[in-house]
Amino acid sequence: MNQTFQQLRLDAVSRSFTNAEGQAVAALKGLDLDVRRGEFIALLGPSGCGKSTALNCIAGLNALTSGGIWLDDTRIDVLPPEKRGFGMVFQNYALFPHMSVLDNVGFGLRMRGVSAREISERARKALELVQLVGHERKLPGQLSGGQQQRVAIARAIVIEPPLVLMDEPLSNLDTKLRIEMRGEIRRIHGELERATIYVTHDQDEALSMADRIVVMREGAVQQIGTPREVYRRPSNLHVARFVGYRNVVSFELGAVVDARATLKSGASVLRGTTLEPLGPGRVSVAMRPDDFERCERGTADENGFDAVVETVEYGGRESLLRVRAPFGALFARIPGDAQVGETLSLRIAPDRVLVYPAEGA
C-alpha cells in the first residue's frame, strides 16, 4: 500500500484491554478522526489517555474492539501491519545494534525483496533527507541520540509510506536537541508531502509542529483544532488546564452581550469571554499566567486590579509570581522581578479571560 491517499478516516474506533483483575478497561472510546494528505496531526494528552493505543490501532499493532479505519475507500483495520505499510518511529529508536546505519535504513526494503542496488540508492537518499550522509558505515552505538533518531526516521520513510506514525520520538533527547529536532521533523514532513501522526504529551511540541492538534483525555477526544484554536480557545476546562491556563477562579456570571461577559466576585468585576451559551450563576474562569500585564499603580482601567505579591519564582528576564487578587490567588508571569509583600497593578484583556461552566456542576 505504497500509494498516497487523500484521507485517512477513523470511525468510532474503540479498544479495550483486560486488566490484571480480569476487568475490561476502555483505552479508546469511539475515536473519530479525519486526516488529510499532507497534514501533520498531533495526538496530545496526559499519560494514559490512549494516544499510543490510537497510533497502534492505525498501525495495525492493536486490533480494534469496535469501529473501523479507512484509507480513502479501503478498509484497513482488517489488514496486518505489513499490508498497511506505514512508517513507524518510536521513542526508543528500535534500531538493530549490530547493523550499520545504511543496513538499518535499508532493512524494510530488503524485507520487501527490493534489489540491492535500489536499496542502496533509496537508503542513501533517505539519509540525505535526514542529513546523515557520511555516517552510513557506523553502528547505532557510535551515534548520538539525535542521530539515532534520524536513522529511525530515515528507516521509516525509505519505504515511501503513505503515512508516518511517530510515538513520542523526541522524549529521550535533551531539551536543546529536542527543540532542534522539532524543526527537522517538520522539514522532513514537508518534503515528503504525505501525512504524519505524532503522539506527544508535550503541548509545546504539539503547538509548534502540528497543523491540527487532537487533544485527548481518558480515551476520548476533547478538542480537534489548529494550534491557535487549542491555545486561545480551549473547548473546556480540562483542555484549558492542559495547555497552561493555570488559574481557574470561581465567579458569578452577570450580563452576557455578544460573548462578552460581566463577571462578579464580591466587589470585584472582570470582563471575560464566553465560548458557549451560559445561564446565570457560578462559572469557572480560566486565565494564563502570561496573559497578565503589569501597569502603573492607578492606571489600570477595564480589567485592572491590585494584587499583593506572595511568592516570587525569579527567572531572570521574567518572574512567576503568586499574588493575592481581590477575587482569589493567581499565578502571574511578569517581565523582570518583584518583591514579596509589594502591591502590583495587573490587567488582563477580556478575550484572555475565558468563561466555562462551573467545575463540578
Give yes or no for residue 169 binding ligand ATP (CB under 6 A): no
SS3 call for 247: strand
Q: For ligand ATP, which residue of 5, 44, 45, 127 counts as binding (CB under 6 A)?
A: 45
Which residues, other chains included, contact 318 with Cβ-Cβ below 8 Å and sequence gap of 6+? Answer: 333, 334, 335, 336
Size of the residue set binding ligand ATP (CB under 6 A): 12
Q: Which is nearer to ligand ATP, 201 or 324 (CB)?
A: 201
Number of neighbours of residue 124 by Cβ within 10 angstroms: 18
Q: Which stretch binds ligand ATP (CB under 6 A): 46-54, 101-109, 237-245, 320-328?
A: 46-54
Q: For ligand ATP, which residue of 51, 212, 217, 288 counts as binding (CB under 6 A)?
A: 51
Q: Which is nearer to ligand ATP, 37 or 201 (CB)?
A: 201
Q: Which is nearer to ligand ATP, 149 or 274 (CB)?
A: 149
Dist. CA 294–CA 57, nearest whole Å = 48
Give yes or no for residue 48 binding ligand ATP (CB under 6 A): yes
Give yes or no for residue 52 binding ligand ATP (CB under 6 A): yes
Q: Which is nearer to ligand ATP, 69 or 334 (CB)?
A: 69
Which residue(s) pair with 328 in the sheet?
325
Which residues, other chains included, contact 327 with Cβ-Cβ below 8 Å and sequence gap of 6+? Answer: 249, 251, 265, 266, 268, 270, 305
Q: Which is nearer to ligand ATP, 101 or 216 (CB)?
A: 216
Q: Which is nearer to ligand ATP, 51 or 194 (CB)?
A: 51
Q: For ligand ATP, which residue of 201, 232, 260, 322 counts as binding (CB under 6 A)?
A: 201
Per-residue interface string for the shown chain with ligand ATP, residues 208-237, x marking contact by CB under 6 A: ------------------------------
Dist. CA 305–CA 292, nearest whole Å = 11
Q: For ligand ATP, which residue of 2, 23, 47, 299 counts as binding (CB under 6 A)?
A: 47
Positive/negative CA dihedral, 56, 59, 64, 68: positive
Where are the strands (E) in 37-135, listed by range? 40-44, 66-71, 74-75, 87-89
Q: Which stretch binds ligand ATP (CB under 6 A): 48-56, 181-189, 230-238, 245-253?
A: 48-56
SS3 call for 146: helix
Per-residue interface string for the shown chain with ligand ATP, residues 4-43, x marking contact by CB under 6 A: -------------x-------x-x----------------
Give yes or no for residue 50 binding ligand ATP (CB under 6 A): yes
Pick from 59, 76, 72: nearest CA to 7:
72
Dist. CA 222–CA 8, nearest whole Å = 20
Number of neighbours of residue 112 by Cβ within 10 angstroms: 12
Give yes or no for residue 49 binding ligand ATP (CB under 6 A): yes
Q: Are 265 and 287 in contact (CB under 8 A)?
A: no
Q: How far is the CB of 173 from ligand ATP (least distance, A)?
A: 16
Q: Which is nearer to ligand ATP, 173 or 286 (CB)?
A: 173
The answer for 305, left when phi > 0, alpha when psi is -120 to 50, beta otherwise, is: beta
Q: Are 221 and 31 in contact (CB under 8 A)?
A: yes
Q: Which is nearer to ligand ATP, 90 or 356 (CB)?
A: 90
Q: Which is nearer to ligand ATP, 61 or 308 (CB)?
A: 61
The site for ligand ATP (CB under 6 A) is made up of 17, 25, 27, 45, 47-53, 201
